[in-house]
Structures are given as C-alpha cells and as structure tokens.
Amino acid sequence: PLAALNFLPILTWLPSYPVKKYLFSDVVSGVSTGVVQLPQGLAYAMLAAVPPVYGLYSSFYPLLIYIFFGTSRHVSIGTFAVISLMIGGVVVREAPDSMFYIQPTNGTNATAFVDEEARDARRVSVAVMLTTLVGIIQIVLGLLRFGFVAIYLTEPLVRGFTTAASMHVFVSQLKYLLGVKTQRFSGPLSVIYSVKAVFSDITSTNITSLIVGLVCLIFLYVVKDINERFKKKLPIPIPGEIIVVIVSTGISYGMSLSTDYKVDVVGKIPTGLLPPAVPEFSLLPSLVTDSFAVAVVGFSIDISLAKIFALKYGYSVDGNQELIALGLCNFISSFFRTFAITCSMSRSLVQESTGGKTQIAGLVVSLVVLVVVVAIGFVFQPLPQTVLAAIIMVNLVGMFKQFRDIPTLWRTSKIELAIWLVAFVASVLLGLEYGLLVAVTFAILTVIYRTQSPKTAVLGHVSDTGLYCDVDEYEEAAEYEGIKIFCSNSSIYFANSDLYVNTLKEKVIQSAVFVCNTRRCPKKTEGGKQQAQLYSEDLCKVTHEVLPCNPVVEEQKNGELGDKASETDIFIEPLSTVHSIILDWTSANFIDSVGAKAIKQVLSFQWNQIQSKQSVVQLDTLQFFTGIITTDMVFPTVHDAVLHCQHRNSHQPNNLTGANTGNQEEVVEATC
C-alpha cells in the first residue's frame, strides 16, 4: 500500500477530496487556466517548429497523466517556451529547410520551393522521438533516486539560463511579427544569425502583419499590467490572450487577411485526436545528448516552482516522484504525437491565483483543450501567426524582469553574479544546449574555487558569551593572551592543503611571537593619563585586543605598553608569548589524506603537543594520530580547548609572566 501511495500520489488526496469546499474553485481555476493554455499551446508549437495542432495535443495528454503521478497540487503542466525552443533548435538542426527543396518541373530557371508537408512530417517525427528519450531519461533518473541533480542547477544559473532562452524566443518571433520569410537557425551564434537575417530582409515587412501584431502586443501588455496591479480585486484575471485570439481570428476571417493581404495564418488544424503510433527509433543516436539537456532543464523548472507552492501551502513534493511523473507524461504522451513538456510559470500562477486547490483544476484544463481539439479546432485556422508571436513576446516580460538580478547579486554575491552572467552569455551565444553545459561546468568550478581559496581568520572571544569571532570584523572579539585561534571556513583537502598551511604559518606561527618595525603612539584614557598604543609603521592600525589568560594579568590592548618608552622609539619586541594555538575545524566537512599529512607534518615539526577536535574516526582512518599526536588532543568546541589551555597554563607559573620556558609551543586544534 505504501509503495502504491508513493507511485500514485493521487490516492493520498482524492479519497478525502472536499467536494463542496474545493470543487467550485478548481473548476473556475481550470477554465481560467485552460483559456490561457489554448493560445499558448498554439504559439509554443511554433517555437518547437511543428504545426500548431501539436501544441494542443501537448496541452492535453500530459495533463491527464500528471494528475495521477504528480506530487504538486498547483503547477500547470504543458507547453513551456524554454523547452519548446530547445526542441525547436534540435528539430531545425535535424530537419532543415534545405533537405526539402524541390525544383519545379516546368522550367529550369524557376525558384526552388520547400515541400512543407514533408518537412513538417519529418520535424514532428524528430520532436516525438526526442520527447520519448526525454521521458525515458526522466523515468530512469527518478527510479535511481537522482532527484538531487537539480541542486547543480543553482537559482542564479537557472535564472540566467531562462533569461537567455527568453532572448532566443524573442528573436525567433521577430520574423512572425514582421511577416518576413527567413531561415530558422540553431546552434552557436544562432541569435546573431537570426537577427541579421531579419534585418537584412526587413524591407519585405508585411505592414498588415506588423500592425496586427503591434496592436495585440500593446493590448496584451496593458491587460497583463492591469491583472498584476489589481490581482487582489479581480475575481479572475482578464483573459487577454483568448480575447485577442478570438477577435483577431474573426477579423482575419472577415477581411480575408491571408488571401488579400498575404498575412501568414495558422492554417489547417485537423479535428479529433490522432491514433497512437510508435516513434521512429532510427533517429535516436543523434538525439541522446539533446534529450539529457531537455530532461534536466524541464525537471529543474518543474521542481523549483513546485517547491515554491508546496512551501506556501504547507505540503511536500518529492523530487524523485516528480521526475517519474514528468517522465511518464513525456514518454506515454509521445505515442500520441506530443513534444516535451514541463510546468509553465505563467499558467501555474494563473491556476493558483484563481483559486486552484488540487490537480482537479488540471483535469478541467485538459477537458477545455479536448473540446477545442475534437470540436472547434477548425475555428482557429484563420488566426494570424503574428498574433501568436505577440502572445509569446508578452509572456516573456516576466523573464526579462530577471535582469534585475544583476544589481542585487552585485551587492550580495559576486560569485553568484558571475554564474548568472556566464549562464546568460554562454546560452545566448552558444545556444541553449552548449550554454547549459558551460554554465553547469562554471558553477562547479566556483565551488572548487571557494574551497580552494577559503576565508581564514584569527578568532577572538566575545565577552559574556561563548562566541568566537573574527577579530578583524568584530570589535567585541578579543584574543586571549598566549592563545591563538585559527579558523578556515572550508574543508581541508588536496586542492587547498598547501594554502591552509601557508596561511596558518603567516597568520599565526610567524605573527604570533613578534611585531616588527612599530612605533608607540600616545592616547588619552578616560582618566586623562597618557597611554601608549602599538601601531604598525606601514598600516598604522591598532593591533588586535588581547584578553589576559589569567585573572592576575590586567586586561590590556594587544601591544599596549606603559610610558617607559618615548613616542618615536622603533623597536622589535615580543608581542605576546604564545603557549597554545587552536585550529578550529568546525567548518571542515572533511579532511583527506593529503590535508592530514600536510598539517601533521607542520605540527610534528614545530611543536610537541596538539589538542584537536575533528571527527576522531575520520582522522584515525587517515592515520593522523601517530607519534606525538594522540586522540587526547580532541575537543568538542573551541571554548573547551580554550579552557583546557588556560587550566594547563595556570599550573605553569613561568607562563603567567609571559615567559616561554621551553621555547616550545603547544598546539590545540578544536573543530566539529
């Protein structure tokens, strides 16, 4: 029973579905979302380079399947711009127009034309086979519990990538908006080639198409803005998309825009559903790499949006089950001539904002699409393609707003900004597939960079607390006299072990005993007496505050001296005899054998005792505890190590005066 519930999540909520409470809201939400789904299905089929009716098929079958297997109650499954564009790039590459040129038989000088029927049939076969592969990959990854792969698609990467995809989508729709005939490009620099092709042929712009498209563009933008501004007051969003589809279809039919004004229209939409058919597996070898990219991007978009709604409404989604659900949607639907799908951000927000509670709303959406496909699909045949281009462009407004991430990331995280920019630039210039690969590789390299160049600090104690903070960043943090606490925020392994050891020597070992080339500067205290503070000759900054290791020693500034020397004396003098050094490994998730050997070599060479707290089992496995280094040197916290050092030092009278009797230093490592 538990396995059945996990595999069919519908069994967890449908038996207890509150009909009176939820049904009306789900029906209203489903109708509202279905009204948006229809024009988007037609429009996104253009992005996928297949006839518009296949967008309606892709808006029907996957919805029915997701209701049974999906774990999110609010996402709207179906066509999505980014995925459709990725499919379109593959389809055009595998079935370009150049494969289907036909020379007229009535004269040798006549211009060759494209056999559109044969081309479209081939492109549909490529899209269907790609969708089958995407479904298989997603199902396999879900069964192997590979839902975690989405963590490598960090939010800045996804947002940069989808913004770049929006650029591709926008550029691809320019020719439909202007009504010009240009070749469709794919692969690296396809955006540049597409823009160049459109502007080189801009003199052949169809003025009627341009006017119709611009009017629809302005109307849709205004409606979208009104829906956004007054979303709390409107019971349901104004269905701007279906309004322009109905009105423009009527105008196109009444004015014969296709025949009299040469406006490109949707064309023939067959009535009814197609019988199932087996995909052409002969196309498989050339589509494997592309299918992985589509599968991962589709899943990452779905799971990110599903988690947002789950967090908002207090339920959970299972990443692995979502992979299986998307895989089944794509795999089963591909036998009915669909192309790959995922959830749509715009439709999901409509479904949620209009009161959708469960996937019953998705069922209503599929029924709305079914009615159109079976009964009234032919009505949309006169619909101008420029109207669909306007619908697509307006739906990109939300994605283009992601450019606002740049100033925010500049202020918060330069590395994440770099990830965003690399994902955007690489995806725009190299194409979505190669761009995604470059972006993921760069994101992984940033992780290596962060661990290879960790932040290190000397810690000090914050009085009246158990906190130890960086003395360079927190004024309240003060070092204990005779104790140095060294901290690194990264694991210690082969890539950064040398840097860790060198920084340890620089910040602690070499600087702990002497402060060279300094001068004393007078400073008035509250009592009006002159006190000397130690300044660096070059930087002129006060050195770190030092707390006494023993109550007998008076609290003082690190390097504060009496009035026994003149203001201009230059000297080399012991700052503080360091009897203990604590290595804080709290942030170290792991230490490998190279890191352990490097640290052990330094410690064994320099000192005769070590106190430590890293995972004893892990360190013992690495043979860290040999020779003078023993497991007795492990402490659970930095504070425990500090107390041990103070207690040990208090039983050595010579150390109370700051003398280093044995000319040796004790090293204490404290980590979690």
Contact 99, 119 (CB under 8 A): yes
**Model pLDDT, residue 484:** 84
**Model pLDDT, residue 107:** 55
**Model pLDDT, residue 533:** 36
**Model pLDDT, residue 32:** 87
Longest CA–CA separation in the chain, Å: 113
| Total Cβ atoms within 10 A of residue 55 | 29
- The SS3 call for residue 477 is strand
Alpha helices in 58-115 (DSSP H): 61-69, 81-94
Measured in residues, the chain has a length of 672
Cα separation, 126 vs 121, whole angstroms: 9
| Whether the model pTM is above 0.75 | no
Q: How is domain 456-513+576-651 classified at the CATH fold level? A: Transcription Regulator spoIIAA (3.30.750)
Pairing between β-strand 556-557 and β-strand 545-547 as defined by DSSP bridges? antiparallel
Q: What's the pLDDT tens digit per position in 252-261?
A: 999 999 989 8
Q: What is residue 524's DSSP assignment?
A: E
Q: What's the pLDDT tens digit per position in 527-582?
A: 443 333 333 333 333 345 556 554 433 344 444 444 444 444 444 444 456 777 88
- Ramachandran region, residue 268 (left: φ > 0; alpha: ψ -120 to 50; beta: rest): beta
- Ramachandran region, residue 151 (left: φ > 0; alpha: ψ -120 to 50; beta: rest): alpha
Alpha helices in 506-615 (DSSP H): 593-606
| DSSP codes, 118-163 | HHHHHHHHHHHHHHHHHHHHHHHHHHTT-GGGGGGS-HHHHHHHHH
Contact 154, 446 (CB under 8 A): no
The amino acid occupying position 304 is S
- The SS3 call for residue 101 is strand
Cα separation, 146 vs 151, whole angstroms: 10
Cα separation, 246 vs 219, whole angstroms: 14
Question: Tokens 């041990």 — which residue?
Answer: 644
Angle in degrees, CA 338, 341, 345, rounded to 5: 145
- Ramachandran region, residue 71 (left: φ > 0; alpha: ψ -120 to 50; beta: rest): alpha
| Phi, then psi, of 523 in degrees rounded to 5 | -145, 135
Contact 242, 350 (CB under 8 A): no
| Phi, then psi, of 28 in degrees rounded to 5 | -60, -45
The partner residues of 78 in beta bridges, in order of sequence, read 342
Cα separation, 598 vs 496, whole angstroms: 10
Cα separation, 385 vs 389, whole angstroms: 6
Cα separation, 115 vs 118, whole angstroms: 6
The partner residues of 76 in beta bridges, in order of sequence, read 344
Cα separation, 162 vs 142, whole angstroms: 24
Cα separation, 187 vs 347, whole angstroms: 29
Q: Enumerate the CATH 3.30.750.24 domain ranges in the chain, comma separated.
A: 456-513+576-651
**Model pLDDT, residue 448:** 83
pLDDT along the chain (672 residues), means of 10: 75 89 91 89 91 93 94 92 90 88 66 81 95 96 82 82 88 91 84 92 92 94 90 83 91 92 88 90 90 90 86 87 94 95 87 88 93 88 91 86 92 93 94 87 88 83 86 87 83 83 77 38 40 34 50 40 43 57 80 81 53 57 70 77 79 41 43 45
